[in-house]
Amino acid sequence: MNQRLLVISPMRNESAHVERVALAMAAQTHPPDAWVVVDDHSTDDTREVLERLAPQLPFMTIIGAPQAVADGVTDRLAAAAAPRAFNVGLHSLQWREFSHIAKLDGDTELPPRYFELLLERFAENPRLGLGGGVRIERVGHQDKLERVPTRHHVPGALKCYTLKCFQDIGGMQERLAWDTIDEVYARMRGYETRAFPELVAVHHRPWGSADGVLRGRSRHGRCAYIVHYPLPWVALRAVKTAGMRPRGISGVAYLGGYLGAALRAVPQVDDPGFRHFFRRELRERARGALLLSLPMTGGSRRAERRS
């Protein structure tokens, strides 16, 4: 099958990073067939930098987002500004002519063989419907790896869908928690979702810094409520989150975001099938983690030695 790749990048005020991101796109061994950059009313020179680099990026198109995407927003992630801008880019061309549709954030730099290797993964596994890499954050002279459950979650900055999967899940929803909702629906429809640890991109903006770290923790708690995480799971997650900076209060913010959403009756995914499927997955993951944590029996040790 002929693979045709469409990449869409919602961007706002990315002038500090966008040149590295764009040059990394120019250096791809398998460049996209089309790269649509949606400038969401940047107040810096993001667009000017891209226009200067345009001769090196013949597959790039720059368009502007409608004012409604950026107008009066204080927490852009909570307002789903990125998927709204993504859909603006999607509908700016004949997107059904592509075999794969990807989202790339404006602060995420790809290694040269990223798309070549990712498209190979899709070709090798016809069941793979949603895939992508993982990210590191450069902190001084150290690289900090973003840890994700690779069989369940692909970072929102690096998602790539097959056309059929994208259509079967109804596209990208313009709501908070979209990047969990799409994965669950993909698995409900029989697709595999996978993040590949060998495909490592560089994230140049510190995680959670765009709208404040604590606001981000609270937002993640609100996402957990929207997608029907049960309270006991959230409480355990809050304990783990408490170990992140700022320590202690991060867990409080996460749990507070979940409870606050429940008290305000924030709309959840209104699909009993989604809730049932997702909670069954959580139970299976919890059982798997419990089995891995149990001491091995003598028989298990002998079986392991034989293997």
- What pLDDT, on a 0 to 100 scale, did the predictor assign at position 205? 77
Q: Are 253 and 208 in contact (CB under 8 A)?
A: no
Q: State whether residue 139 is helix, strand or coil.
A: strand
- What pLDDT, on a 0 to 100 scale, did the predictor assign at position 78? 62
- What pLDDT, on a 0 to 100 scale, did the predictor assign at position 139? 65
Q: CA–CA distance from 81 to each of 85, 103, 138, 151, 181 (Å)? A: 6, 13, 25, 27, 16
Structural domain boundaries in the chain:
5-203, 213-291
CATH code, residues 5-203: 3.90.550.10
- What pLDDT, on a 0 to 100 scale, did the predictor assign at position 244? 86
Q: Are 181 and 150 in contact (CB under 8 A)?
A: no
Q: State the number of CA atoms in the 13 A half-sphere of 154 facing the CB.
A: 28
pLDDT tens, N- to C-terminus, the chain (307 residues): 689 999 999 999 999 999 999 999 999 999 999 999 999 999 999 999 999 999 999 999 999 988 755 455 556 666 789 999 999 999 999 999 999 999 999 999 999 999 999 999 999 999 999 999 999 987 667 788 988 889 899 999 999 999 999 999 999 999 999 999 999 999 999 999 999 999 999 998 765 545 578 888 999 999 999 999 999 999 999 999 999 888 999 999 999 999 999 999 999 999 999 999 999 999 998 888 777 777 755 444 444 444 3
